[in-house]
Amino acid sequence: MSKTIMLLTIALVTAVTGCLVLAYLWIDRSISLTYMQQSYETERSSVESLQKLIAFEWKGMPEAQLQKKLEQAVVQMPERAIVVKKEDESIWFDQVAFNIKQGKLDSIGKSVR
């Protein structure tokens, strides 16, 4: 009987320890995920603010002048592999769309079609 109690005690301690480790890992990952989401939202908000600022300053700029400015920016950042390309009603600067309407810059960011 004493051997059975000893085995059950060891199994119980092992099970409780395993549950504590799993609970710690779950809480740690939840906290890490929360911080990552908050960081992502802060960065996304900053990028949107910069897009609005640039759009405010450049709104109405002719398409040719806009493309020239973007290509000049690429030359000044040789360490990055940024591509400037014209596609439909947008000029893409890396992953950012500069939306053109009637030959002039209308907005920056996601196209609102």
Q: What is the DSSP code string of 12-36?
A: HHHHHHHHHHHHHHHHHHHHHHHHH
Report the predicted TM-score, pTM, of the whole model to 2 decimal places. Answer: 0.65
Give me the mean pLDDT over the 53-65 stretch. Answer: 90
Q: Environment class of residue 85 by beta-carbon count within 10 Å: exposed (0-12), middle (13-18) or buried (19+)? A: exposed
* pLDDT of the residue at 78: 82
Tens of pLDDT, residues 10-57: 999 999 999 999 999 999 999 999 999 999 999 999 988 988 898 888
The region that residue 60 occupies, defined by phi over 0 for left and psi between -120 and 50 for alpha, beta otherwise, is left
**Residues ≥6 apart with Cβ < 8 Å to 96:** 51, 108, 109
Count each helix (H run) and each strand (E run) in the chain, helices first.
2, 4
